[in-house]
Amino acid sequence: MSFIEVRVVETRGSTPRGPGTRMWVGAGETRGTIGGGKLEYTALAIAREMLASGENERQRRFVLGDSLGQCCGGNTTLAFKRVAAMEGEEDLFDVVLFGAGHVGKEVARILERVPCRLTWVDARREQFPEHTTARIVIDDEPAFAVDEAAAGAFYLVMTHSHALDFEIVERALVRKDARFVGMIGSETKAAKLRARLGARGVDASRLVSPIGLFKAGKHPAEVAVSAVAQLLQLRATSSCP
C-alpha cells in the first residue's frame, strides 16, 4: 500500500498553513491537514487521482482567491509525492495534564484535537473516560510524571488536591526546560504557593496561576477553553523544537 504526501513548499501572503506542513492521503485514511477548506478539498482530489493512476510526483501552485472559494488572498505551492507509509503530524508538542476532574476532562477533550502529544496523569483510575487518545498515567505519586516528561513540555496542573498541585508545580519549576507551568485556582491559592516556593529557594516567576488567556466563567468547559488558548498562544509566540 502507498500514500500521497502533500507538503506545503512555499507560501506568499495570507495562507492557512506555513511551509513544511504536511498531510498524508491513503485509499481509506487521511492524516494531518494543510488548512482545510477548498484548498484541502482540491489537494485530496489530486492525491486520490494520483493513487489511482500510479503517478509518483506533482507540484501545483494555488491562488487563494475567489476562483478557489477562499478569501485568504495569498498563494500556496503544494508538492505531491508517493510514499510507502504515513508519518506522524508535524510540529507536535508535549503537554502533561495533571488531574482528571471536571476541568481536566474538558481540557483533554480539546487537546485530543490539537496536534500535540498529551500525557494525562491522575491516581484515580475511575476518573478517566473509557476512550481517549491521550497517554494515560495512573500513579499513586503523580508528581513523578514530571521527571519522565519530554524536554520543553507544557504542564497543566489541576488535580483534586491543593497539596498535590503544589508538589507537582514545585517539581516542574525545578526543571529549567519546562516551557509552561500553569496551575488552576484563585489568586489566593497562587500567592500561598509562591510564598512557599520562595521560602524553599524555588523561583516561582515562571508559574502561571490563575491560568487562562481571558477571564472565563466557572463552567469547566469555559475554564478549559481559556486555559488551552493561553497554552496555544504561548506556543505560537515561542520557538518550537
Q: pLDDT, tens digit, for every residue of 105-139?
A: 999 999 988 888 899 999 999 999 988 889 999 98
pLDDT in tens, 98-112: 999 999 999 999 998
Q: CA 233 to CA 68: how far, in whole Å?
A: 29
Per-residue pLDDT of 199-233, as tens digits, reads 999 999 999 999 999 887 789 999 999 999 999 99
Q: How many Å apart are CA 98 and CA 35, to the nearest integer?
A: 31
Four-CA torsion 229, 233, 236, 237, nearest 10 degrees = -170
Cβ–Cβ < 8 Å for 50, 82: yes
What is residue 67's predicted lDDT score, i.e. its pLDDT? 60
> Cell numbers of 79, please?
508538492
Task: Classify domain 93-237 at the CATH class level.
Answer: alpha beta
Indicate if the alpha-carbon torsion angle 189, 191, 196, 198 is positive or negative. positive
- Is residue 142 within 8 A of residue 164, CB to CB? The reply is yes
3-state SS class at 71: coil
Whether 55 contacts 82, CB under 8 Å = yes
**Residue in the structure block whose three cell numbers are 514530571:** 146
Domain boundary assignment for the chain: 3-83, 93-237
For residue 116, what are the contacts with CB-CB under 8 A and spacing of at least 6?
92, 93, 94, 95
Cell 504526501 belongs to: 5
Q: What is the dihedral angle through the alpha carbons of 218, 220, 221, 223, rounded to the nearest 10 degrees? A: 60
For residues 135 and 150, the answer to whether their CB atoms sit within 8 Å is: no
Amino acid at 231: L
Please give the Cα distance from 68 to 237 (Å, whole number): 30
pTM: 0.67
Grouping H, G, I as helix, E, B as strand and the rest as coil, residue 51 is helix
pLDDT in tens, 52-101: 999 999 999 998 866 665 556 688 999 999 998 877 555 678 999 999 99
- Please give the residue that has the higher pLDDT: either 24 or 33: 24
